[in-house]
């Protein structure tokens, strides 16, 4: 089973470079709250945001994919469903951005102290996930999958360009 961030009250997550995290104020992504996938630029870094709905989210490192939980009994079979979806031709291009290094995925509204405390305490439920990416330009693509009639996930994958 994956580690999931509980659904956000503010309907957006941010993938924050670790080096910018100590100065994160929790208001930087306010302008993109209604976008499913967006990016903002801060201190020379692209920051990926996932928003528009307060869905739980997880990071799947091997397929470089974020999964958001619409509905499901559990996440058993998620990884195999994502692997199957990788070859689907229904992926929609959303945006391109420059990423690379160590990041933290968290509720965009959380201030730095809360995120750092969560990472130090390794608390459950988790409020932040660590993400590491090789440097480069990435295309973000979205796809909704329904592995069965009672299961739906929204995926955002990062494709190296």
pLDDT tens for each residue of 60-98: 999 999 999 999 999 999 999 999 999 999 999 999 999
Name the least confident of 32-36, 99-103, 142-146: 32-36
List Cβ neighbours of 68 (8 Å cut-off, separation of 6 or more): 50, 53, 55, 56, 57, 153, 154, 155, 156
Would you state the pLDDT for residue 122? 72
Would you state the pLDDT for residue 57? 95
Pairing of strands 128-148, 65-71: unpaired
Q: What is the mean pLDDT of residues 18-36?
A: 89
* Tokens 């693509």 -> residue: 141
Helices (H), 42-123: 78-85, 112-121
Would you state the pLDDT for residue 121? 82
Would you state the pLDDT for residue 40? 93
pTM: 0.94
* Cα gap 10→89, rounded to integer Å: 32
Q: Is the pLDDT of residue 123 over 70?
A: no
Would you state the pLDDT for residue 54? 84
Tokens in use for 37?
């996938």
Mean pLDDT of the chain: 92
Radius of gyration of the chain (CA): 15
Would you state the pLDDT for residue 33? 75
* Cα gap 128→5, rounded to integer Å: 7
Q: What is the mean pLDDT of residues 133-148?
A: 97
Q: Where are the domains of the chain?
A: 12-160
Name the least confident of 47-51, 118-122, 131-135: 118-122
Q: What is the mean pLDDT of residues 120-133?
A: 85
Q: What is the mean pLDDT of residues 1-13?
A: 81
Query: Which of 66, 14, 71 lies closest to 41 in space, CA to CA?
Result: 14
**Residue 72 CB burial class (10 angstroms; 0-12, 13-18, ≥19):** middle
Tokens in use for 157?
């994958």
């Amino acid at each position: 089973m994956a580690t999931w961030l509980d659904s956000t009250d503010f309907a957006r997550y941010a993938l924050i470079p670790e080096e910018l995290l100590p100065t994160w104020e929790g208001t930087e992504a306010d302008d993109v709250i209604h976008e499913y996938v967006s990016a903002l630029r801060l201190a020379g870094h692209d920051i990926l945001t996932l928003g528009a709905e307060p869905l739980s989210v997880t990071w799947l490192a091997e397929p470089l994919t974020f999964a958001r939980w619409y509905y499901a009994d559990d996440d058993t079979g998620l990884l195999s469903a994502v692997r199957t979806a990788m070859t689907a031709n229904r992926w929609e291009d959303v945006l391109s951005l420059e990423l690379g290094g160590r990041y933290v995925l968290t509720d965009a509204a959380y201030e730095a102290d809360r995120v750092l405390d969560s990472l130090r305490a390794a608390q459950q439920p988790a409020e932040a996930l660590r993400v590491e990416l090789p440097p480069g330009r990435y295309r973000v693509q979205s796809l909704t999958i329904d592995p069965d009639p009672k299961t739906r996930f929204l995926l955002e994958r990062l494709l190296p360009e």
